Amino acid sequence: MKTLRLHGPHDLRLHDEPVPAPQTNEALVRVTAVGVCGSDLHWYSTGGIGDAQVTRPLVLGHEFAGVVESGALRGQRVAVDPSIPCDHCELCRAGNPNLCEEQRFAGHGLEDGAFREYFAWDSRCLFPLPDELTDEDGAMLEPLGVAIHSVDLAHLRPGMTVGVFGCGPIGLLIAQVAFVAGAARVMATEALAHRLDAAQAIGAEGFRAESGEEAQQVLSATDGRGVDIAFEVAGDQTAVDVAMTTTKPGGYVILVGVPSDDRTAFTASVARRKGLTIKLVRRMKHTFPRAIDLVTRGLVDVRSLVTHRFPLAQAGEAFAIAERREGIKVIVRP
């Protein structure tokens, strides 16, 4: 089978490798759609993400769907949860498998991901797709899961005003989930015009991100009150600053973005004086059934976010386009 491996920054190579043999409790999946995620781009651009670095040629890819080739679900189209928690540590038992320190996560560290033709993975992580959903829709359920988990952390209540700072795929999905959860208004900021247009198309009030000047625009649009909840989804220090500046006293700031230099800072006096609650997002948990339901019922649109599609042989071009932020979501179809 064809497998795409990252050997170092901007060094992707196709390899011919054997089809993996499923182990006990695993199923073989023929991969049909893989999304290029922002975290994949960190690996691609710098050879790592945070304190995890490429130590051997790594197969990226954790947003994916495919067709099961073995086991009880054989022939079934599925979306795949890329995380396998240990299920027995204190964090797992407390209901937080996304924080499990022993979890295996596809396309991270020593665990190969889905940019290949076949993938063997734990059968418990396979979620059958309804006929209404395409394989590309299935690949989008993982980033939608991150959006759902982010909104869960914010304790959003009907009638609230929400800020989304950064309108890549996850930011746009957070905006949609926020509306479903009852947000009355969503203020969206983004530096790229086509992504800002996408935010406005789903009902958000858009402001061009320009060196932090957008903070005053958001405050003016809310009569100086600011937002109840701010989602920082850009992985950018200026976006963090704007989120802190525009959040009401007693509000929530949810840090979703992954900073390229592995550091996030904020002005302590501002956050302290406002009594802000700051939370960081670690992947997702227990979200696939809800994600499938939201998309199937037409409450969240994932399909329009897919702007580019490439075969595995052109994955280098796919990553280059995603790195340049030319579209919204780039899909590779092995």
Within 10 angstroms of residue 55's Cβ, the number of other Cβ atoms is 10
Contact 36, 70 (CB under 8 A): no
Q: Which two tokens stand for residue 161?
A: 């005003």
Within 10 angstroms of residue 265's Cβ, the number of other Cβ atoms is 10
Within 10 angstroms of residue 42's Cβ, the number of other Cβ atoms is 19
| Nearby residues of 176 by Cβ (< 8 Å), 6 or more positions away | 147, 202, 299, 300, 301
Contact 31, 64 (CB under 8 A): yes
Alpha-helical (H) ranges within 247-314 are: 268-274, 288-296
| Nearby residues of 70 by Cβ (< 8 Å), 6 or more positions away | 22, 27, 28
Buried b / exposed e along 194-207 (16+ C-beta atoms within 10 A): ebbebbeebebbbb
CA angle at 11 for the pair 45 and 193, rounded to the nearest 5°: 40
Contact 218, 246 (CB under 8 A): yes
Query: For residue 140, which amino acid is it?
Result: M
For 155-182, what is each residue's pLDDT tens digit? 999 999 999 999 999 999 999 999 999 9
For 19-33, what is each residue's pLDDT tens digit? 999 999 999 999 999
Compute the distance between CA of residue 128 and CA of residue 136 in angstroms, rounded to an integer. 13
Contact 166, 152 (CB under 8 A): no
Can you give the pLDDT at residue 307? 98
Question: What is the C-alpha R_g of the chain?
Answer: 20
pLDDT under 50: residue ranges of the chain: none
Compute the distance between CA of residue 251 and CA of residue 160 in angstroms, rounded to an integer. 11
Contact 198, 167 (CB under 8 A): yes
Beta bridge partners of 120: 28
With CA atoms as reference, report the closest residue to 188 among 180, 203, 177, 150: 203
249: which DSSP letter?
Answer: E
Alpha-helical (H) ranges within 181-231 are: 193-201, 214-221
Q: Is the dihedral of CA 325, 328, 333, 334 positive or negative?
A: positive
Structural domains present in the chain: 2-140+302-333 (3.90.180.10), 147-280 (3.40.50.720)
